[in-house]
Amino acid sequence: MISTRSALATAALVAAVLLSGCTGSSPDDAAPAADSAPAETAAPGASGETGAAETPADGTRTTLMAVVGSADDPEAYAIGILDETGALRTSVPAGDYSLTFVDRSQLHNFHLMGEGVDVATEVQGTDESTVEVTLVAGTYEYVCDPHSGTMSGVLEVTG
């Protein structure tokens, strides 16, 4: 699936940019000390929301990517949900989605919770699998379970 790999690579790159505030400017800052984790994983960019309609044709699923870490540092304290264009999403329309984990970290996991949904990767080991989820109007939360105080986010699902 070349297109999928390309999309993932793009997403990882964008994630690195969007979430780079977490990693510090020096490689020496990469030591995985929990108490040095950034308080904010990502500020939604003012231009990050397209607001474009994205309801797929019947029977197809839109892909979202559940990313932890960054392309440069899989262990970076960063977490987010990106769309197929690599844009960080804080809201999506209700519907059926394919959620592709991009978890290349041995320290972190991705755990999405909300009505009808409770999916997570393992903390140890990597996971780039895809699960199918149905999101209904409301608020979904995602965290890295070991670092939920600093690695968390909210996905608003609009009806």
- Which residues of this protein are in contact with Cu ion, per CB under 5 A? 108, 144, 147, 151
Nearer to Cu ion, 120 or 157 (CB): 120
Nearer to Cu ion, 22 or 144 (CB): 144
Written as six digits, the tokens of 82 are 């990106």
Closest separation between CB of residue 146 and Cu ion, Å? 5
Closest separation between CB of residue 156 and Cu ion, Å? 23
Closest separation between CB of residue 121 and Cu ion, Å? 11
Three-class SS of residue 112? Answer: strand
Three-class SS of residue 70? Answer: coil
* Torsion angle of the four alpha carbons 12, 13, 18, 24, in this order, in degrees rounded to the nearest 10: 100
Nearer to Cu ion, 89 or 108 (CB): 108
Question: For residues 48 and 87, is the Cβ–Cβ distance under 8 A?
Answer: yes
Nearer to Cu ion, 133 or 151 (CB): 151
User: Which residue, among 113, 96, 104, has the nearest Cα to 152 in the 3D structure?
Assistant: 113
Closest separation between CB of residue 110 and Cu ion, Å? 9
Phi/psi of residue 98, nearest 5 degrees: -95, 125
Question: For residues 89 and 83, is the Cβ–Cβ distance under 8 A?
Answer: yes
Nearer to Cu ion, 143 or 155 (CB): 143
Closest separation between CB of residue 73 and Cu ion, Å? 12
